[in-house]
Amino acid sequence: MTRVTDSPSRPAPVRPPAARNRARNRKALLWSLRLGSIALVLVAWEITAASVGEDLLPSIGSVVSDGIPALISEGHAAEFGQTLIRMLIGFAIACAIALPAGALMGASKFWADILTPYAYGIYMAPRPALLPLLILTFGAGATFGIVMVLLFAVFFPLINTAKGVSEVVNGPLYEMTKSLQVSRWRVLFAVLIPGSLPYVLAGIRLGLGMAFNGILLAELWTAYSTGGLLEAMISYHQLPEYFALAGLIGLTAVASYSLFGVFERRVRRKRGMAVTGAFGEAS
Amino acid sequence: MTTVLSKVSAGRLARVALAIAVFFVAWEAYGRTGRALAVPPFTEVCSELADVLTSGDLLGPTLGTAAVALTGFAIAGVLGALLGLLIGLFPIFRQVVGPWVNAAYATPMTMFIPIIGMYFGLGMGSQVFLVVTFCIFSVLMNTAEGVQAVPIQYYELAKTIGISKLAAVFRIVIPFALPYVFVGLRISVASAFAGAITAELLLATDDLGLMMMQASGNFQFVKLAALTFYVALLGFAAVGLVYALERWVAGRLRAAA
Amino acid sequence: MTAVGHTGHSQNAADPRADRGSAAGGESPGDGATRDYVELRGVGKTFTHGRQSRQILDDVTFSVREGEFCAIVGASGCGKSSILRVIDGLLEPDTGSVRVDGQDITGPNSQIGLVFQQFNLLPWKTVQENIMFGLESLKVSKAVKRERCRHWMSVVGLEEWSGHYPHQLSGGMQQRVSLARTMAREPSLVLMDEPFGALDALTRRFLQQEVVRLWQEGKRTGILVTHDIEEGLLLADRIFVMSANPGRIAAVVDVPFEHPRDEALQATAEFAQMKEHIWHLLTAEISKSSPYVRMRNDPSDG
């Protein structure tokens, strides 16, 4: 019997030269637009700085020449490092709570009903309102910051893990494992965790973003560590140093966000899942 | 639009209500132990809140905070929806502006609080600005997602019917993306109140934020707890209002169709 | 052609080529060498969703002989998939009993394999890893597992794709992996739940031929569930016609054609007659269960 070999779903596209050129031109246009937008922002900055004066907006040059060295010499970067460590501790605790709780919510309707009001309660309530209250219990030091990070960062990992686990457990894969008599432990490690991984990563990525906000809010409120530095810099009109530090914080946040985004895209691509464009957020 | 309640069985609703009730019972129990200054018993907080409400002291500050929050929310809503629409509709725009939006979303806007104060002064302007930075991203991203979720077939349908691209946007894209927009708006309004309180605590102490700080300064811890609870309720009420708004809009759309 | 219906409604005129009238349930006639491998008696199942309940299966009784390949043909949603899940031990019936190889079914076991409609491959594992994953619960040595994996990958023709991920394969190839995964466990009973429903017609035809070939090479018992009458006629020895709302075996039809059943057979008048016959049985049931639905060839029309 002749065997028909059907072809895979995605053969390598071989496009005619005309189409390839058009694609190349589009890519070139895109990158030139992107670089152009960066250049635009920098130019706009310089012009604004020049017109409003150093007191209001330092030129990029002064930020680089005065602010950046101060990061090292005045220990600003080191201080931010301390803040980062505190943030990561709080974030680790948040994940330690959110991931198992989310898995529970995803696997069981009962727990989903019980925990959902708490999850959304924390998210919808204006959390900064807790600043005056929590300082009474936790003082004005490191613990306070960690608690704020916990409150800010717990929601996204929780909800996204729940969604990921729910999809696996309520989907056809789960029934298949029962038919194949796979032991429940194996299902956890070989199916549940890999299956929910894309969502868990999304949750961690979004939660990390909130964690940054949490630690900075706490430290601004108590004028502690990095927050205190930022406020002091404004009080003493040390604008280049301020922008240098803010730049460092921003870069760290954007870098970690993007890094997790890269992970997530790779994980999704391997599974043949849709890799969404600019915004792959789970709201 | 059918309500969520009509689809959920009585058993599940009971579980949710029970979970919420457990929270308040636990609060009461922990409060009674007196171990945390910050956690008075629930009943005490309620009576204190009732006192403050009836005294009329809350009216002004509530309006003030709500004004800041809702103004910022409105601006962010319009700007965010517009930008989201553009990003969703035009791929080039999305691919150039998108990375900037992502970067802005990832940067903690809180670190700009000191300099916002310096630039915008210590008045409502800077407060509204902060609120906008807190709540614009939800609306923007959810709108963009909604617009991008419009299936290609709808566009093809529009072409065959022969309506202009602009008309297609209004009569096809926007109604389709509206549920997504409202998801973003609901999150956004909660963030707006968070932003307003943040502004009133860290930027220009005012209204409810000022009241809270005064209570804290005067060691009136029960009053502080009551005010915090009140602010939380305000946030929830705002989300409820957006839910109501969504149903009203949906009703008007259905009537117009 | 006499169809012995379980619901006992009027029989059609006897066809010169009278079938052997296989009884729907109970001992198999005459042929003492092959015993009943699968027996369902009075199986019933009702699903409750909140305040609504739907009876999916009602008094389903039939038997499948060892080495037989049977098809359950019925409209979508009539509960045929539920029957397979009951046999595989994934669904517990509310009433009645299920026995395979003389044993009551309490849960999935390694002698029964189920091929799903939606492939159900783990997207983060390669083809080979997926098949090995299917073998994990078996108590055989690693070497045996690897050999079976290799063997079945070559049987379905996917050895070159062993390191690929499911999303890189076409639907037909993914279903072949799913088939290989089930067959590698070497079950004596293979259940197939509309396995080719998600595929295009050409791939479907090809895979149907593959299944026939597999059954020629090794005698296993098989039950196929499908809404495609032709598929049933091409593959099965006997067809159980199912009615819906609630699901019941309405009729049992012997398929007298010899293998291989190819395109030439499909062009014959007999084939068309059988197809028509089963179609009538199906539509009669549909009209019965819903008085407002009248199919065009309803025999009760004038």
pLDDT, one tens digit per residue, over B40-53 is 888 888 898 998 88
Query: Minimal CA–CA distance to B173: which of B247, B243, B246, B82?
Result: B82
Whether the predicted pLDDT of A2 surpasses 80: no
Comparing A9-18, B132-141, C213-222, which segment has the lowest mean pLDDT?
Answer: A9-18
Please name the chains neighbouring A, where neighbouring means 3+ C-beta pairs under 8 angstroms. Answer: B, C
Query: Residue C23's pLDDT is what?
Result: 40
Q: Kindly calculate the radius of gyration of chain C based on its CA atoms and give it in whole angstroms.
A: 20
CB atoms within 10 A of CB B118: 17
Burial class of A264 by CB neighbour count within 10 A (0 to 12, 13 to 18, 19+): buried
Whether the predicted pLDDT of C145 surpasses 60: yes
CB pairs under 8 A between A and B: 170
* Chain mean position to CA C243: 15
> pLDDT exceeding 70 applies to what percent of chain B?
96
Comparing B30-34, C141-145, C296-300, which segment has the lowest mean pLDDT?
Answer: C296-300
Question: What distances in angstroms separate CA C274 from CA A100, B36, C23, C180, C279, one per listed residue?
Answer: 57, 82, 19, 32, 8
* Chain mean position to CA B103: 21
> pLDDT exceeding 90 applies to what percent of chain B?
40
Query: Residue C146's pLDDT is what?
Result: 92
Phi, psi angles (nearest 5°) of residue C95: -135, 165
DSSP letters spanning C80-140: HHHHHHHHTTSS--SEEEEEETTEEP-S--TTEEEE-TT----TTS-HHHHHHHHHTTS-S
Phi, psi angles (nearest 5°) of residue A182: -75, 135
Bin A130: left if φ > 0, else alpha if -120 < ψ < 50, else beta: alpha
- Tokens matching residue B141: 């991203």
Query: Residue A118's pLDDT is what?
Result: 92
Q: For C172-189, b where at least 16 C-beta lie within 10 A, e where not — what string?
A: bbbbbbbbbbbbbbbbbb
Residue pair B72/B192 in contact (Cβ under 8 Å)? The answer is yes
Reported as a single tens digit per residue, the pLDDT across C287-297 is 665 555 555 54
Mean pLDDT value of segment B36-64: 87
Distance from CA of A64 to the nearest CA of B (A): 19
- Which residue in A has a C-alpha nearest to residue B107's C-alpha? A250
Of C122, C136, C206, the CB nearest to A4: C206
Task: Return d(Cα C298, Cα C287) in angstroms, integer.
Answer: 8
**B67 part of contact set with chain A, CB < 8 Å:** no
Q: Write out residues 158-217 of B within 8 Å (CB-CB) of A.
A: 183-184, 187, 190, 193-198, 201-202, 212-213, 215-216
Q: Tell me the ipTM for this assembly.
A: 0.86
Query: Minimal CA–CA distance to C282: which of C249, C233, C259, C236?
Result: C249
Chain C residues with at least one Cβ partner in A under 8 Å: 88, 90, 108-110, 113-114, 116, 118, 120, 122-124, 133-134, 136-137, 157, 161, 164-173, 185, 203, 206, 209, 213
Question: Residue C105 is which amino acid?
Answer: I
Give C99's strand partners. C39, C104
Query: Residue A18's pLDDT is what?
Result: 73
- Tokens matching residue A93: 């605790």
Question: Can you give the pTM of this predicted structure?
Answer: 0.83
Rounded to the nearest integer, the mean pLDDT of chain A is 86
Q: Which residues of B touch A128 (CB under 8 A)?
A: 194-195, 197-198, 201
Task: Return d(Cα B203, Cα B195) in angstroms, integer.
Answer: 11
Mean pLDDT value of segment B27-54: 86
Whether the predicted pLDDT of C26 surpasses 50: no
Of A110, A114, A133, the CB nearest to B225: A133
Sheet holding C52-65, edge to edge: C52-65, C36-49, C95-100, C103-104
Task: Return d(Cα C104, Cα C99) in angstroms, integer.
Answer: 4
Query: Residue B162's pLDDT is what?
Result: 80
- Which residue in B has a C-alpha nearest to residue A211's C-alpha? B108
CB distance A194–C133 less than 8 Å?
no
Phi, psi angles (nearest 5°) of residue C38: -120, 130
Task: Return d(Cα C185, Cα C112) in angstroms, integer.
Answer: 9
Query: Residue B7's pLDDT is what?
Result: 55
Burial class of C136 by CB neighbour count within 10 A (0 to 12, 13 to 18, 19+): middle
Mean pLDDT value of segment A202-216: 94
Q: Are strands C221-226 and C189-193 parallel, antiparallel or unpaired?
A: parallel
Query: Minimal CA–CA distance to C147: which of C173, C184, C178?
Result: C184
Whether the predicted pLDDT of B252 surpasses 60: yes
Whether the predicted pLDDT of A283 surpasses 80: no
Comparing A3-12, A209-218, C265-274, which segment has the lowest mean pLDDT?
Answer: A3-12
Mean pLDDT value of segment B242-249: 91
Whether the predicted pLDDT of A243 surpasses 80: yes
- Which residue in B has a C-alpha nearest to residue A280's C-alpha? B145
Residue pair B91/A33 in contact (Cβ under 8 Å)? The answer is no
Of A5, A172, A176, the CB nearest to C157: A5
Whether the predicted pLDDT of A254 surpasses 90: yes
The CB-side HSE value for C68 (13 A sphere, CA atoms) comes to 24
Reported as a single tens digit per residue, the pLDDT across A3-42 is 344 444 444 556 677 777 888 888 888 888 888 888 999 9
CB atoms within 10 A of CB B123: 11
Give C52's strand partners. C49
